[in-house]
Amino acid sequence: MRDLNKELATFVWFQLLKDLIAKLTSDNEEMAMNDLIEEIKDYYHDNQTKLDTLLEEIEWYEPRTVIWWYSRQASLSNIINRALRQQDIDLLYKCRHFIRDLSQALT
């Protein structure tokens, strides 16, 4: 029963966070994308090749390609998975643009 309660709490937490992220992102798309770009720069600061590739490709990013982006080896999935594992609200907030698009693509 304890595991079920913990899983339910995690599920509810994630659903609330997902809804909040969707609302926050729609208020200012440009700022959300800038926050995401800054996080990419911070995360890949020690790997210039991956950083350059991601920054170049993000210029062509479209919400309809979000699943492709998430499934790439050197991608935003590394950042988002770390944020989800650690339940890092600040990092999830910085990735809100991508998380919102991914959530919409999966529903």
Task: Domain ranges for the chain, please list them.
Answer: 2-106
Residue 1 pLDDT greater than 60, yes or no? no
With pLDDT > 90 as the criterion, what percentage of the chain qualifies? 7
30: which 2 tokens?
């440009």
Q: Give the dihedral of Cα atoms 9, 14, 19, 23; nearest 10 deg.
A: 120
Residue 21 pLDDT greater than 60, yes or no? yes
pLDDT in tens, 29-63: 888 888 889 988 998 899 999 899 888 878 888 88
Residue 9 pLDDT greater than 90, yes or no? no
Q: E strands along 1-107, which residues? A: none
Please report how the helices 29-43 and 2-27 are oriented relative to each other, as an axis angle in degrees rounded to 10. Answer: 120
